[in-house]
Amino acid sequence: MLKLALFLHIVSAIFWVGGMLFLSLVVAPFLKTMPDPRDRSKVYQFVGKKYRLFGWIAIILLVITGPIILHGFYGITPSMYFSSTTLSTGFGHALVVKLILVAFLLTSSLVHDFFIGPRARGSKSYSLIAKIFGRGNLIVALFIIICAVLIRAGG
């Protein structure tokens, strides 16, 4: 069970963060080569909606498997996440920062995917806000990966 949870966690993280990198570094620059803004918008909306479905599946798997991994590898239960014992170590500091970033990213992703993103197609201002949220989410996700590396390395 633990090895399966770890596998699903890693694959989900790869898919989620890799997808954000792909959208930002490949799809968005490609769309700038398309002369018609309506065509650009259609393509980005289509790709975004497809990615959103699988991205949220990955997010759900990450949220489920994270606590399983923490308990299985480190003996840490949710009630211990913010305990003084956990916080007294570099591992604990990295864990708490990661958990805070994950909570922030989940909230930001919900706002981006279900509020701002759907309104971006018909609005330049929402389109700009969606771009800022998307890039910001990518940066936060990369910091989460840094925290994961620190956790694995013991803090």
Q: What is the pLDDT of residues 84-117, one digit of tens each?
A: 998 899 999 999 999 999 999 999 999 999 999 8
Number of structural domains (the chain) is 1
pTM score, whole prediction: 0.88
- What is the Cβ-side half-sphere exposure of residue 117, based on CA atoms within 13 angstroms? 20
The CA distances from residue 108 to 30, 66, 134, in Å, are: 25, 19, 9
Q: Are 126 and 111 in contact (CB under 8 A)?
A: no
Domain span holding position 42: 2-152
Size of the chain in residues? 155
pLDDT means per 10 residues in the chain (155 residues)? 96 95 92 89 86 94 96 93 91 95 96 89 87 94 96 85
Distance CA 147, CA 123 (A): 36
DSSP character string of 28-61: HHHHTT-S-HHHHHHHHHHHHHHHHHHHHHHHHH
pLDDT at 124: 86
